[in-house]
Structure 1
Amino acid sequence: MIKHALFVRLEAKPGKEQAVADFLADGLEMTNQEATTPIWFALRLSPNTFGVFDAFASEEDRQAHLAGNMAKSLMARVDEMLARPPTVETFDVLAMKNALA
């Protein structure tokens, strides 16, 4: 059961918007390799603001994701792509509907 989640906000440097979008699209492959990350969305919130939403069954799974390849890869490119370090919000999931369209 999904109980824990993250929202990460990313603000691209001017001219780096496509690099951030491409990085997030490529991130799907990395997160698909994480057995403990069952829900992951890469989002474009505005022309230069992006987000990642992920959800997990346990706090341990959330921490494993934060220490995983996607997070490491992002942090290695912060200075190159982002106007400021990402903001990470953690929260608990109270209820969830998951039905494919």
Structure 2
Amino acid sequence: MVKLALLVTLEAKPGKETEVENFLKSGLSLVEQEPATQTWYALKLSPSTYGIFDSFEDEAGRDAHLSGKVAEALMAQAADLFSVAPSIQKVELLAAK
């Protein structure tokens, strides 16, 4: 059962919104190569605020994702794309369908 997740909040620098959206869309192909990542969603929360929500069956899967290619790419682009450092929260799922 999927019980662990990550909730990431991203605040785009002014004028970088399209680049952030393109970056997030390109992340899908990297995540598809991660067997332990059960779900992955790129979100637009407001005109300049974005998010990522992904879920995992266990801590090993979540840790693998955090040390994987998507996380590496996110941190490499952070200074250019985001006005503040990405907020990465480890969360526990209480219920899911």
**TM class by shorter-chain length?**
over 0.9
Percent identity (aligned): 47
Provide Cα deviations, 1:70-90, integer angstroms capped at 9, x if missing partner: 000010001110001100111
Return the TM-score normalized by structure 2: 0.98
1:74 alignment counterpart: 74
> Aligned pair count?
97
Runs of 4+ in 1 over 4 A off after TM superposition: none
Unaligned residue ranges in structure 1 (runs of 5+): none
1:87 alignment counterpart: 87
Pair 1:44-2:44 in alignment: yes
**SS at 1:29's partner residue?**
helix
- Counterpart amino acid of 1:17? E
Cα distance in structure 1, aligned partners of 2:38 and 2:90: 16
- Deviation, 1:46, is 0.4
Unaligned residue ranges in structure 2 (runs of 5+): none
Pair 1:11-2:11 in alignment: yes
**SS at 1:89's partner residue?**
strand
- Deviation, 1:55, is 0.4
**SS at 2:90's partner residue?**
strand
- Counterpart amino acid of 1:66? L
Cα distance in structure 1, aligned partners of 2:92 and 2:81: 29
Pair 1:60-2:55 in alignment: no
Provide Cα deviations, 1:28-71, integer angstroms capped at 9, x if missing partner: 00000100001000000001000000000001111110100000
Query: Could you say what the CA RMSD is over the residues aligned between the two structures, in angstroms?
Result: 0.6
- Counterpart amino acid of 1:45? L
Pair 1:28-2:19 in alignment: no
Return the TM-score normalized by structure 1: 0.94
